[in-house]
Amino acid sequence: MSTIAFLNIGMHGHVNPTLPVVAELVRRGHTVTYHTSPAFRAEIEATGATVRRYPGGELPLPDPPTPVTLLESLAGTTVRLLPAVLDDLRRDRPDLIVHDSSCLWGAVAARELDVPAASSFTTFAFNRQVPSPTRGSWQLLAAARKQPRSVRGYLRSRRELHRRFDARGMPPLDLLNIRQPLNLVYTSPAFQPAVEHFDQSYRFVGPSIGARPVDPSFKADRLQDPVLYASLGTVFDADPKLLRTFATALAPLGGTVIVSTGQTDPDALGPLPANVLPGVSCRSRRCWRGRRCSSPTAA
């Protein structure tokens, strides 16, 4: 059997889709280690994997999380985490490293240790037809001119990264789109834009939800087929008026429509059609009810 190391960023929407895959690998007899932030320890250990916690606690996200500030944050985090991550990986001696498509330190670690790697895409896959937010473009250049401090921080971290580690082959800018010979995409090919332009290295495995703990606060007895689940993503705030319009427009399409409300309190949406249920709402990675979020798309 093999030893497989997962490396991920500390966001529910990136960790949760990998958990059923990890559980299945463990069930088949593989040894799985999982490098992540301390907040995700319980969920990951429940799969049977061994948790390797990043030093320094939670990984901070830039505020606001613009493409330029994300570049700075990902590069700086990579320089900070890599020494400890490499120490763990050298002890564990994995046969494969699976890293998030935004996890630069996972890709550099695989290169540094000469270990095969796979990339995990929990958003759409990106290419020329479906551009990544951090792809080199006039829009990114214009944003960079307005945030020179973040640009300097990014360039400083990249220089340090190349000085200390084997970072050859890493994208110079597009750190949300780090590809490998095998790329797992957690969406269906039916929903992937321009799917015909992706080669066989992209495997569209569909939603990876798996078994979830029962949440007695969720009104499961109200669900009527067909059930439609919709999420705009929960990293960014969503205006209650926008979410209400979104929910109302979707209501005729489903027997029950569940709308993820992100960091917006569902009560702020006001009256909704009878078949619409406001979904999970996250604030600082915690549900608005004060508990940890278990939504497959919560960030």
C-alpha neighbours within 13 Å on the C-beta side of residue 115: 26
Which pLDDT score, from 0 to 100, does residue 293 have?
37
3-state SS, residue 73: helix
Task: Tell me phi and psi for residue 110, to 5 degrees.
Answer: -60, -40
pLDDT tens for residues 129-164?
999 999 989 889 998 999 999 999 999 999 999 999
Q: What is the mean pLDDT of residues 33-43?
A: 91
pLDDT tens for residues 54-72?
988 777 777 667 899 999 9
DSSP of 117-177:
EEEEESS----SSS--TTSS-HHHHHHHHH-HHHHHHHHHHHHHHHHHS--TT--SS-TT-
Q: Mean pLDDT, the chain, as a whole number?
A: 85
pTM of the model: 0.79
3-state SS, residue 113: helix
End-to-end CA distance of the chain: 33
Is residue 202 within 8 Å of 125, Cβ to Cβ? Answer: yes
Q: What kind and span of H or E run contains 227?
A: strand 227-231
Which pLDDT score, from 0 to 100, does residue 294 have?
35
- CA nearest neighbour of 13 among 120, 105, 131, 127: 120
**Is the per-residue pLDDT at 103 higher than 50?**
yes
Dihedral of CA 39/155/112/102: which sign? positive
pLDDT tens for residues 211-247?
566 667 777 777 899 988 877 764 455 678 888 888 8
Cα gap 161→145, rounded to integer Å = 23
